[in-house]
Amino acid sequence: MNVTLPQQGGRRFVVTGANSGVGLETARALVGAGAHVVLACRSLAKGEQAAAGITGPGRTEVRALDVSDLSSVRAFAAEVGAVDVLVNNAGVMGVPFSRSADGVELHLATNHLGHFALTNLLLDRLTDRVVVVGSIAHRRAELDVDDLDWSRRGYAAFAAYAQSKLANLLFLAELQRRLTAAGSTLRATGAHPGSTATGITGHTGRGWATAIGGWGHALVGMSPAQGALPSLYAATLDVPGNTYLGPDRLREMRGRPTAVGRSRAALDPDLARRLWRRSEELSGTSFGLSPP
């Protein structure tokens, strides 16, 4: 599936989780379009290895970032400098119950809270947009703002993943609402990769779940390069704020990028505001732009 992106020379992108899968292919395509791409990776060694395999007219830069650890997020934000586009891509899926360094359930910490904090910390240095990478799984999610850490519910790994992906979509909508209210020219866009054959199902801790996930993605899924296209479109094309892109065929599992819908819960403005307030409390960060 060939695609030609607008030229990105002179523009600086941050892609979290850029050492493998969709994140790596996003970085590769952006460098191919002339961009300066910061590969923000938990492992510097893996980031450097990934960067060594990227060629093109742009350039790469590797920086350490563990989005599940708020101290790492703060350190990264303090040093990264000005950024045109932030692509919040890093994620985990279906992992056994565990807590982050900050005591937050790991799916929520990695997929939502770290990116929430990173975005807030970089808002005054962003020039163009924030891209939030979601998932089809958000449609099956329920989100209890008062029980984000599963202390009152029985933990289910894939339900926790789906909840974190619903949080992504609520964050996207509320971020754009706040940007608009502040009179900012920044925009927030979203994307999901459909069913893409990556290694995200490889850390479930359950052999059958890992095998079924890998088999399913291999059977109907797209390549990581194809799965990266919605993120690339959301990051580079002139689409309105709060646009959400995904594949156009097979119930959004594969195909070319197009604007797609989202669940009723993802469109709930009250739920989005409540999640935002709780995320502020958990992360110690807040929206830094004021209304005009």
Q: How far apart are CA 272 and CA 145, in angstroms?
A: 10
3-state secondary structure of 204: coil
Q: What are the sequence ranges of the domains in the chain?
A: 12-282
Largest Cα–Cα distance in the chain? 54
pLDDT at 1: 47
- pTM summary value: 0.92
User: What is the arithmetic mean of pLDDT over 241-251?
Assistant: 94
Active site residues per annotation: 161
Q: Taking each helix axis from N to C terminus, what angle separates 269-283 and 114-122, rounded to the nearest 10 degrees?
A: 80
User: How far is residue 164's CA from residue 144's CA, in Å, rounded to a whole number?
Assistant: 11
Which residues sit opposite 60 in a β-bridge?
Answer: 37
Query: CATH for 12-282?
Result: 3.40.50.720
* Cβ–Cβ under 8 Å, residues 222 and 165: no
Q: What is the pLDDT of residue 290?
A: 77
Residues in Cβ contact with 278 at an 8 Å cutoff, skipping those fewer than 6 apart: 145, 148
CA distances from 41 to 18, 46, 72, 134, 211 (A): 6, 8, 11, 19, 26
- Region 251-255 average pLDDT: 90
Give the whole-angstrom CA distance, residue 162 versus residue 106.
Answer: 13
pLDDT attached to residue 31: 98
Percent of the chain with pLDDT over 70: 90
DSSP string for 223-264: PHHHHTHHHHHHHHS---TT-EEEEEETTTTEEEEEE----T
pLDDT digits 0-9 by tens, 98-147:
999 999 999 999 999 999 999 999 999 999 999 999 999 999 999 999 99
pLDDT digits (tens, 9 = 90+) for 195-217: 987 554 444 444 544 444 444 44
- Cα(21)–Cα(25) distance, rounded to whole angstroms? 6
